[in-house]
Chain A
Amino acid sequence: MVGRETPGRLDLVAVAGVSAALLALEVLLLRLFEFSHWYHFAGLAIALALLGLGAAGTTLALAGRYPFSRGDGWFLTGLGVTGAGFLLLLVVQSRVTLRPVFAGWDLGELVRLLLVDLAAFVPFYGAGLAIGQVFLRWPERTRGLYAANLLGSGIGSLGAALLLATVPVAMALAVVAVLLFALGSVIGWVRGQRVAGAACVLGLALALIAAVRPPEPAVSDFKALSRIGELPGVETLAVHSGLPGRLTLLRADSLRYAPGLSLGWTESVPSVDVAVVGSDRVVPLVRRWPVDAAHRRASLAGLPRQLRPHGRLLVLGSGAWQTPVAAGGRAVTWVEADGRLLEIARARGASEAGITLVEDGAWRHLVTAPDGPYSVIAFDAAWEEGDAAAEDYVLTVAGLALALARLEADGLLAIPLPLDDPPRYYPRVMATLERALHRQGAAAPGDHVAVLRGLQALLILASPRPLAEADIAALRDFAERWRFDVAWWPGQAREQANRYHRLDSPVFHDIARALFERRPLPPATRLFHAAPAELDRPYPWRSLAWGETPRLVRELGGRGWSYLDWTLILSVVTTVVVAVLAFLLVLVPLGRLPAIQRPFGRLSVAGYFSALGLGYIVVELVVFQRLILYLGEPVLAAALVFATFLIGSGIGSAMTPADASRASLGRIYLAVAVGLALALVPFMAVHALSTPPLAWRLALLVALLLPLAWAMGRPFPWALRQLAGQDRWIPWAWGINGFTSVLGASLAPLLSIHIGQSAALVAGAACYVVAFAIARHWLVRSKRA
């Protein structure tokens, strides 16, 4: 690439190729770290890795005055480091077994974790070196280069999703490395860079070996996949790749699941198989339908079916609660987003047993409800709980109201929860249910609800109309027979709520009473966040109340740490660590850069590119969060959003006006405003966008988002173009943009959780307002000069 005044086609392909590899790595890394790490650490790990991009910008800013920092040799070096980083990552992940659950208190384990994560820093750093220097080399061609960067990124995002759907994650990484080294080999050959080219050929050979025989990621012995693999007589029946993660189907006679089972049950519980998704999510699956499920008559899990012996059951999601187990000729619709689980069930006779298997998101099925109304809607997925930062649209006020509307007049919602003492999620779920009942017209929501409690399970039942005397009598009989406590029924006395499984106080009854009587929760239960989950803040599994954290730890002692939402805490830690590191890395080259010339100033350049970096990623991630509502599967939503934004922005950047005029600036930011207005539609027309079939939904969403993506791709290259002539400042600006993108990636979920998705979107839009104001200031200064 040395000596050419403009980038050729091969140069643009090279930029696109490295960009594609980079985005593919981001997507694959999420899946890889989820497998090997404790998922709370995955975000931190990825943020540290992404710092490699910003660090590359700093390196380029420092090395920018030296000729070797631009040219084919430097590019191939960066590419080679990227590819080597891929291989290093594969080796490290296969050789080092982490025990992230101990990292919370074992400093040595934490250090090991961070060192392993540094392996991921290398490919990002290498890619940053390669891509960043092309802007330094051809400062007049930022539009085309940035377009290649973004288009390649979009292709990489889609390619990674395709790979994840078809091959194991380790093989996917190796395949990307193969493509990368192949690209480097071609460039080395064409451009006469023999040494670098030979190194790429060597890398290609190693990557091919890894692709054919990919090294398996080492799994902690504390992960479910490892523990179940240790059982005597365990058999691996099948392994399937897929977007939700690797699915391993296992069988062992000692695998039995019966949450909610009465202590009074003395007979056997049948063995089941399990599907382990990823390394830790365990989904029990019956070996063959019909199944002997006699034990369910003594279980909270079987109670809804006993109360409503006729009519269709709807089961949302999968988990150990296993409502489909007792289908027994009853009409059941089982909705699950992971089609592989349904395929396994189908092969085992579920359809013949009367179960209709539907691969769809729970929210969408409630909206369309093709086979409703239902006599029972069982929220099986609720038993598995969720992460504090994971979107769960069904357990929101809107979701529960929708479910109530899909029931028969005397139908029942059944929401199982693991029992926590002190109650962690129960207050929030009950508050959400109370609000949903109100929305559906219930004058006294407490009359519509019953709560039963076993030794480790809660079952919340709710009906669109007040529970009949017959229902209450049946509940009480069941509870008496099987020695469950009834924590709430309409008119219950407090003393009746704590008989068999004794707690220090009938706290679950007290919470229900406080909520239904619209009084404050008992002081002892105010340790957790208990506001109803709304569609704009669909995080029902967020329990952390920041103000109560000291009291939580003080009152519960050491075990209080276990009740904290570590995802949120580590997101805050990530944000702070990244901010500090970014600040330092941004400051490092400042003393060695030449003076910046008017109309620019260091602060305004930093401000502009920071605002763009933050704004772009915050808007992108908030949109991604909302699209999970419509698509059901987070990885599918991520692939669609990332691809749309990157490809759209790539096209937009290629069409960026080059002149520095108020007119061009106005056009650029007006387009952003129009795009943002269109992007509001997914936040408003919820039902309209939920009903179309998948292909139409995808097309509609892309059509709504593409204008915004196109518009958001233009401010960055426009400003880089203006910096032409002050070349050394370009990688610095690019690096700042990279750092603030990383910062935004950890900040965006925090914003959505705490202030809502709409407000987070506004915050992202505000960043563009700031950027516009700075750019206008440049133009004014330029005119005065």
Chain B
Amino acid sequence: MVQASSQAGWIRAALLAALVACAPAAAQEVTVLLQASPPEQAPPRPDFDDDEFVELRATMVRDQIEDRGVADEAVLAAMRRVPRHRFAPRVSARSAYEDEPQPIGHGQTISQPYTVAYMTERLELGADDRVLEVGTGSGYQAAILAEIVGEVVTIEIIRELADSAAERLQGMGYRNITVLHGDGYHGHAARAPFDAVVVTAAASHTPPPLVAQLRPGGRMVIPVGRAGWIQNLLLVEKNADGEVSTRNLASVRFVPLTGDH
């Protein structure tokens, strides 16, 4: 669902389409599991009743995120709002708010709260942005993004995880998230370009299609490196001329991109 372009932006849209057309052609089959609603002025946010873990989330944000330097108010607000425990059904609710990644099955984890917040902050998102997330996992990162931006497209290669994330996000009332089942390596050219791309599974190299689907001026955050405890978190920036550069942000703990790229 590409946002409607203003009159002045049609040239930009044409150029972007051309750029995207240069992206490697991929025989990519994707299945839409959850479709975002047409964009509105302000996408509806789910209405979460106050639950017994509000205080725990506030403590999590204060001790694990704010104290470590994340300062973006939109990110902090999202982290306070989204009930993280609902995205980690395999562990106790209290464990979900601990300062660690937690298993969600299929060799995947829900990322450590700080990592989610840090990556989100580094994207420098705006309310109208469209974000591609590769590696839906539990759907938690997608939910955090959806609290901030206009639309999130998230893609997951493991069918069971994609199904459960779509069901969970729909059940929670998110209307601005599209959940796809497919190989995230190819991104999603049909819905490109994106203002930001976040890859939540480590890869051995940055997939060329993802770089191509990032609009000029956009940012990508991706962990790269070998499987294991440590990967390097990179910020990839594409300038107005389409040239990319990277900045090493930090080392983080992730699981690898399942295709072991």
Tell me whether A558 is interfacial, beta carbon within 8 Å: yes
Partner of A231, one of B103, B204, B251, B259: B259
Tell me whether B205 is interfacial, beta carbon within 8 Å: yes
Q: How far is the CB of B223 from chain A (nearest CB, A)?
A: 9
Question: Which among A226, A257, A263, A501 has the greatest number of chain B C-beta atoms within 10 A?
Answer: A263
Tell me whether B121 is interfacial, beta carbon within 8 Å: no
Q: Is the CB of A418 within 8 A of B226?
A: yes
Q: How far is the CB of B112 from chain A (nearest CB, A)?
A: 8
| A230-B248 contact in complex given A269-B208, A456-B224, C-beta closer than 8 Å | no
Q: Is the CB of A259 within 8 A of B205?
A: yes
Q: Which residues of B sit under 8 angstroms from A101, Cβ to Cβ?
A: 229
Q: Is the CB of A420 within 8 A of B260?
A: no
Q: How far is the CB of A774 from chain B (nearest CB, A)?
A: 46
Q: Which residues of A sit under 8 angstroms from B106, Cβ to Cβ?
A: 221, 227, 230
The chain A residue sitting closest to B64, CB to CB, is: A558
Q: Is the CB of A227 within 8 A of B245?
A: no
Partner of A230, one of B158, B206, B208: B158
The chain B residue sitting closest to A227, CB to CB, is: B107
Q: State A99–B101 Cα separation when bound (angstroms).
A: 13
Tell me whether A267 is interfacial, beta carbon within 8 Å: yes
Q: Which residues of A sit under 8 angstroms from B258, Cβ to Cβ?
A: 227-228, 230-231, 254
The chain A residue sitting closest to B114, CB to CB, is: A558
Partner of B247, one of A221, A256, A258, A502: A502
Q: How far is the CB of B22 from chain A (nearest CB, A)?
A: 6
Q: Is the CB of A258 within 8 A of B204?
A: yes
Q: Is the CB of B252 within 8 A of A559?
A: yes
Q: Is the CB of B205 within 8 A of A260?
A: yes
| A456-B225 contact in complex given A227-B256, A320-B204, A483-B244, C-beta closer than 8 Å | yes
Interface residues of B: mostly helix, strand, loop or mixed?
Answer: loop
Tell me whether A292 is interfacial, beta carbon within 8 Å: no
Q: State A462–B113 Cα separation when bound (angstroms).
A: 43
Q: Is the CB of A102 within 8 A of B103?
A: yes
Tell me whether B35 is interfacial, beta carbon within 8 Å: no
Partner of B224, one of A385, A455, A503, A562: A455
Q: Is the CB of B205 within 8 A of A258?
A: yes
Partner of B232, one of A253, A267, A419: A419
Q: State A504–B234 Cα separation when bound (angstroms).
A: 13
Q: State A161–B100 Cα separation when bound (angstroms).
A: 40
| A99-B103 contact in complex given A257-B261, A385-B226, A418-B225, C-beta closer than 8 Å | yes
Q: Which residues of B sit under 8 angstroms from A227, Cβ to Cβ?
A: 106-107, 255-256, 258, 260
Tell me whether A421 is interfacial, beta carbon within 8 Å: yes
Q: Which residues of A sit under 8 angstroms from B25, Cβ to Cβ?
A: 268
Q: Which residues of A sit under 8 angstroms from B243, Cβ to Cβ?
A: 483
Q: How far is the CB of A73 from chain B (nearest CB, A)?
A: 48
A714-758 to B contact mask, C-beta < 8 Å, 1/0:
000000000000000000000000000000000000000000000
Q: How far is the CB of A496 from chain B (nearest CB, A)?
A: 15
A245-264 to B contact mask, C-beta < 8 Å, 1/0:
00000001111111111011
Q: Is the CB of B157 within 8 A of A222?
A: no
Q: Is the CB of B246 within 8 A of A263?
A: yes
Partner of B255, one of A222, A228, A320, A558: A222
| A456-B208 contact in complex given A255-B259, A418-B225, A483-B244, C-beta closer than 8 Å | no
Q: Which residues of B sit under 8 angstroms from A385, Cβ to Cβ?
A: 226
Q: Which residues of B sit under 8 angstroms from A267, Cβ to Cβ?
A: 24, 208
Q: How far is the CB of B18 from chain A (nearest CB, A)?
A: 13
Which B201-250 residues sit within 8 Å CB-CB of chain A? 204-206, 208, 211-212, 224-227, 229-230, 232, 234, 236, 243-248, 250
Q: How far is the CB of B54 from chain A (nearest CB, A)?
A: 25
Q: Is the CB of A456 within 8 A of B255?
A: no
The chain B residue sitting closest to A106, CB to CB, is: B100
Tell me whether A266 is interfacial, beta carbon within 8 Å: yes
Q: State A198–B192 Cα separation when bound (angstroms).
A: 72
Q: Which residues of A sit under 8 angstroms from B261, Cβ to Cβ?
A: 254-258
Total interface residues on B, CB under 8 Å, equals 48
Tell me whether B185 is interfacial, beta carbon within 8 Å: yes
Q: Which residues of B sit under 8 angstroms from A253, Cβ to Cβ?
A: 183
Q: Which residues of A sit under 8 angstroms from B23, Cβ to Cβ?
A: 266
Q: How far is the CB of A278 from chain B (nearest CB, A)?
A: 13
Partner of B24, one of A226, A266, A282, A558: A266
Partner of A221, one of B105, B183, B205, B256: B105
Question: Which among B25, B230, B236 has the greatest number of chain A C-beta atoms within 10 A?
Answer: B230
Q: Which residues of B sit under 8 angstroms from A600, Cβ to Cβ?
A: none
B94-108 to A contact mask, C-beta < 8 Å, 1/0:
000001100101110
Q: Is the CB of A257 within 8 A of B24?
A: no
Question: Which among A227, A259, A558 has the greatest number of chain B C-beta atoms within 10 A?
Answer: A227
Q: Is the CB of A223 within 8 A of B251?
A: no
Q: Is the CB of A256 within 8 A of B107?
A: no
| A230-B107 contact in complex given A263-B236, A418-B226, C-beta closer than 8 Å | yes
Tell me whether B253 is interfacial, beta carbon within 8 Å: yes
| A266-B232 contact in complex given A224-B260, A501-B245, A559-B252, C-beta closer than 8 Å | no
Tell me whether B26 is interfacial, beta carbon within 8 Å: yes
A411-436 to B contact mask, C-beta < 8 Å, 1/0:
00000001111000000000000000
Q: How far is the CB of B120 from chain A (nearest CB, A)?
A: 18
The chain B residue sitting closest to A221, CB to CB, is: B107
Tell me whether B12 is interfacial, beta carbon within 8 Å: no
Q: Is the CB of B245 within 8 A of A500?
A: yes
Tell me whether A669 is interfacial, beta carbon within 8 Å: no
Would you give 14 A-B contacts (Cβ < 8 Å), ordered by A? A102-B103, A224-B260, A232-B183, A254-B185, A254-B259, A265-B208, A268-B26, A282-B227, A420-B232, A456-B234, A500-B245, A501-B247, A502-B246, A502-B248
- Sample of 9 more A-B contacts, CB < 8 Å, known A227-B106, A266-B212: A221-B103, A221-B105, A221-B107, A222-B255, A224-B227, A227-B256, A232-B183, A255-B261, A269-B205
Which A residues lie at the B interface, using CB under 8 A? 99, 101-102, 105-106, 220-224, 226-228, 230-232, 252-261, 263-269, 274, 280, 282, 320, 384-385, 418-421, 455-456, 483, 499-504, 556-559, 562-563
5 shortest A-B CB distances, which residue pairs?
A: A254-B259, A221-B107, A562-B229, A456-B224, A268-B24
